[in-house]
Amino acid sequence: MNSENILEVKHLTKHFKAAKKQVVHAVDDVTFSIARGKTLGLVGESGCGKSTCARTVIRMYDVTDGQIFLDGTEITRMSQKELKPFRKKMQMIFQDPYASLNARMTVRDIIAEPLLAHRIVKNKAEANDLVYSMLERVGLTKEHAGRYAHEFSGGQRQRVGIARALILKPELVICDEPISALDVSIQAQVINLLKDYQDEQGVSYLFIAHDLSMVRYVSDDVGVMYLGQLVEISEADEIYKNPLHPYTKGLLGSIPIANPKLARLKVKSSIEGDIPSPIQPPSGCRFHTRCPYAKPECAEKTPKLTDAGNGHRVACHLY
Ligand code: SF4
């Protein structure tokens, strides 16, 4: 493990059992790392496994195979009790702050709860000062502390979710589509808040999003997932300037479109067809059923993630 990395994920695999003894291949053999104080954006269409990957990393799900190292310690198969001290270091911000915040608790109690659970404070009174200063840090005020989640706008609720995640001063925050449910005008405010906090505290982020434009401003590195696999990963600037994988090109809207009707529509994502089922993913390269460059070997041989130069890694037989 490289000591500069807060997180290292090696060959992570997460399968779920489905009906009739079928298996959902949600995440297959995914490897990446996040350096301290940096952000990895993880991108892909809905159903590509990015959220499952994030939830497996934070150990909301048990791992099927592979390894997870947090700050140099392997946490892959720790029990929930063994994990407790590591939970302080790794927190999560959810997509839907309304569903993730307890409707019966005041904002004060929601934010104080992790402080009490980890015995950082002895009682609620002791937590108050920390809660008030965190509310101010996320752009709310002390006066908001006595209110309930339903009394807030979507953007304010997400600020409460962020305050709850940051109150323990974690070293890694997993942001699971934290701006997707917000109005466009609010998205930039939340992104700026997360970025400013990173500049101040040196926290690292794993930032999940469904399109590449959302992670452009926040990410140092970007990884692209397709049907449970990481198909491309590189420094962010490089991936936007020089996307290699046909799927990444499609997400960026720069792939040639075979269907003239779709081409005329100039849709942002120019990938045709739906993502196949993760229960029986296509053989070989999982993207071959939608790839305009697919050749016969693509259906037979699985491409490995290979360095195409400058640490830019891609899984495609074209490289
Ligand atoms: Fe397309 Fe083949 Fe590359 Fe897969 S391996 S992305 S099918 S060219």
Return d(Cα 297, Cα 317) in angstroms, integer.
8
Q: Whose CA is nearest to atom 5 of ligand 1?
A: 316
CA of 207 to the centre of ligand 1 (A): 26
Identity at 127, one-letter amino acid code: A
Q: Within a 10 A sphere around the Cβ of 175, how many other Cβ atoms? A: 28
Given this model, what pLDDT does residue 266 score? 42
- Round to whole Å and give the CA distance between 213 and 179: 12
Residue with the bigger pLDDT between 215 and 220: it is: 220
At 261, the pLDDT band (50, 70, 90 cuts) reads low
Confirm or reject: Cβ of 243 under 6 Å from ligand 1: no
**Measured in angstroms, how far is the CA atom of residue 317 from the centroid of ligand 1?**
6
Would you state the pLDDT for residue 244?
Answer: 96
Distance from Cα 316 to the centre of ligand 1, integer Å? 5
Ligand 1 centroid to Cα of residue 289, in Å, is 9
Section 29-48 average pLDDT:
95
- Looking at residue 270, its pLDDT comes to 65
Q: Is 287 in the pocket of ligand 1 (CB under 6 A)?
A: yes
pLDDT band at 258 (very low <50, low <70, confident <90, very high): low
Residue nearest to atom 7 of ligand 1 (CA): 288
* Residue 227 CB less than 6 A away from ligand 1: no
Could you tell me if the CB of 292 is within 6 A of ligand 1? Answer: no
Q: Is 138 touching ligand 1 by the criterion CB < 6 Å?
A: no
What pLDDT is recorded for position 254? 53
Q: Which atom of ligand 1 is nearest to the CA of 292?
A: 1
Q: Which residue has the higher pLDDT, 13 or 183?
A: 13
- Give distance in angstroms: CA of 272 to centre of ligand 1: 14
pLDDT of 100 reads 80
Backbone torsions φ then ψ of 131, nearest 5 degrees: -65, -45
Ligand 1 within 6 A of CB of 319? no
pLDDT digits (tens, 9 = 90+) for 80-100: 999 999 999 999 999 887 788
Take residue 178 and report the two structure tokens written for it: 């934290």
Buried-exposed string 16-35: b where 16+ CB fall within 10 A, e elsewhere: eeeeeeeebbbbbbbbbbbe
Question: Collapsing DSSP states into helix, strand and coil, what is residue 221?
Answer: strand
pLDDT interval class at 186 (50, 70, 90): confident
Is the per-residue pLDDT at 235 higher than 90?
yes
For residue range 52-81, what is the model confidence (pLDDT) as tens digits? 999 999 999 999 999 999 999 999 999 999
Q: Is the CB of 244 under 6 A from ligand 1?
A: no
- The answer to whether residues 33 and 198 touch, using CB atoms and an 8 Å cutoff, is no
Give the helix ranges, DSSP H, for the chain: 50-57, 80-87, 97-100, 107-117, 124-137, 154-166, 184-201, 212-216, 236-241, 246-251, 260-265
CB of 111 within 6 A of ligand 1: the answer is no
CA contacts within 13 A on the Cβ side of 164:
26
Res 210 pLDDT > 90: no
Count the helices and strands in the chain (H runs, E runs).
Answer: 11, 12
Range with the poorest average pLDDT among 85-99, 228-242, 251-265, 291-305: 251-265
The confidence score (pLDDT) of residue 260 equals 54
- Closest ligand 1 atom to 291 CA: 1
Kindly state the tokens that stand for 177.
Answer: 């589509």
Number of residues assigned to the chain: 319
